[in-house]
Amino acid sequence: MRMFNLRSYLADVDPKDAFYTCDGTYIRNLYELLNKIQAMEEYEFRHHVNEHHDDFSNWIELVVGDRALAESLRGVLDRAKYVELLRKRIKRLELLETMINSTLILKGYVKRQTVRFGPWIVVAIVVFLILQVTYLYQLHERSNLMIRKVDQKLSNFIEKQITADNVLFKHLIGIEYLLNLTINKTTYALIPNMSIEPLIFPKPKPPKDRVDERHIIVSNRSVVLLVDSPQWSRIADTKSMEPVLTQGAHAIGVAPKSPEDIQVGDIVSYIDPFNDTVIHRVVEIGVDENGWFAVTKGDANAYEDPFKVRFNQIKRVLVAIVY
């Protein structure tokens, strides 16, 4: 009975139980539902799926009978995610149907041949099924391993690309300034000790003083910092905070208690939109329609980071750097 229920999820429903969309389209199965959702306009999708009700998931649960799929779709208002969940479920049901069909075929074959060939056929079929399941599992594991390797290579490539971009931006801005700068006797006499570096990379503001001298204990064998909930981190080779933070340096940070505990000049570690940890300096603080935010920038970068950092993204404020 369980096998029949799984297979029936992809079958056509009874004509009297078919689903009719707002434009009159006749839906008989999950395949037709998926195709219709992909093709319909956004306002049509909102007519059936919104904060108040979900016609599709109700039909799937009450008529198709797939309660697991219905539960996963409820509350999903984004059409692309809705389509992706429905597509994944259909693929899984197709795989289950294939396995069920194979099992039923083998079961029928075994039933017909058992009387003739005896228990040896049963043993052989069972061994074959075990080998088949083992092979599918190993194939799945190998696929996951390949995906993890590709993901690791992609992460390494992105890190190297960021480093290369930082170096390239520094050189390009310096070259652009030199090409646009006219030097003659008059200008040279007025600015004989001219330095381009401060014009391209303004000197950053210093961080807030967070550790009192009384909380620094130095002995012949050790140094102790009395700070709350310290966290140690190691600096990666991105070159974005040179020369303050270099590859292999170590940093100690503390968790800020509130947005007021952070000021311009502080070096903070935060989680960026790509779920990576970034250690950059706060160059601006403000408030917008979404609340408090900070603008950050690497000291060696030409430009500020391209996104606002919210307080809940900031994990630590640096209080010590060890080289």
- Radius of gyration of the chain from its Cα atoms, rounded to whole angstroms: 32
Q: How many CB atoms lie within 10 A of CB 82?
A: 21
Kindly report the length of the chain: 323
Which ranges in the chain are annotated with CATH 2.10.109.10?
213-322
Kindly give the pairing relationship between strand 291-297 and strand 216-218.
unpaired
What is the C-alpha to C-alpha distance for residues 67 and 61, in angstroms, rounded to an integer?
Answer: 5
> Counting Cβ atoms within 10 Å, is residue 317 exposed (0-12), middle (13-18) or buried (19+)?
buried
Q: Any bridge partners for residue 286, and if so which? A: 293
The helix-helix angle for 79-117 and 30-39 (nearest 10°) equals: 160
The pLDDT value recorded for residue 161 is 80
What is the C-alpha to C-alpha distance for residues 279 and 267, in angstroms, rounded to an integer?
Answer: 7
At 206, the amino acid letter reads P
Tell me if 13 sits within 8 A of 64, measured CB to CB: yes
Question: What pLDDT tens digit does each residue of the chain (323 aa) get?
Answer: 334 444 478 889 999 999 999 999 999 999 999 999 999 999 999 999 999 999 999 999 999 999 999 999 999 999 999 999 999 999 988 888 888 777 777 777 767 666 666 667 777 888 888 888 888 888 888 888 888 888 888 877 877 787 777 767 766 766 665 665 554 545 445 454 545 455 555 678 888 888 878 878 888 888 888 888 888 888 777 788 888 888 888 889 899 999 999 999 999 999 998 888 899 999 999 999 999 999 999 888 888 888 899 999 999 999 888 88
> Counting Cβ atoms within 10 Å, is residue 74 exposed (0-12), middle (13-18) or buried (19+)?
middle
At 185, the amino acid letter reads K
The pLDDT value recorded for residue 202 is 66
What is the C-alpha to C-alpha distance for residues 248 and 64, in angstroms, rounded to an integer?
Answer: 59
Q: How far is CA 145 from the centre of its chain?
A: 19
3-state secondary structure the chain: CHHHHHHHCCCCCCHHHCEECCCCCEECCHHHHHHHHHHCCHHHHHHHECCCCEHHHHHHHHHHCCHHHHHHHCCCCCHHHHHHHHHHHHHHHHHHHHHHHHHHHHHHHHHHHHHHHCHHHHHHHHHHHHHHHHHHHHHHHHHHHHHHHHHHHHHHHHHHHHHHHHHHHHHHHHHHHHHHCCCCHHHHHHCCCCCCHHHHCCCCCCCCCCCCHHHEEECCCCEEECCCCCEEEECCCCCCCCCCCCCCCEEEEECCCCHHHCCCCCEEEEECCCCCEEEEEEEEEEEECCEEEEEEECCCCCCCCCCCECHHHEEEEEEEEEC
pTM for the model stands at 0.40
The pLDDT value recorded for residue 53 is 94
Nearest to 323 by CA among 253, 249, 252: 249
What is the C-alpha to C-alpha distance for residues 187 and 179, in angstroms, rounded to an integer?
Answer: 16
CATH 2.10.109.10 fits 213-322, yes or no: yes
Dihedral angle computed from the Cα positions of residues 57, 60, 62 and 63, in that order, rounded to the nearest 10 degrees: 150
At 309, the amino acid letter reads V
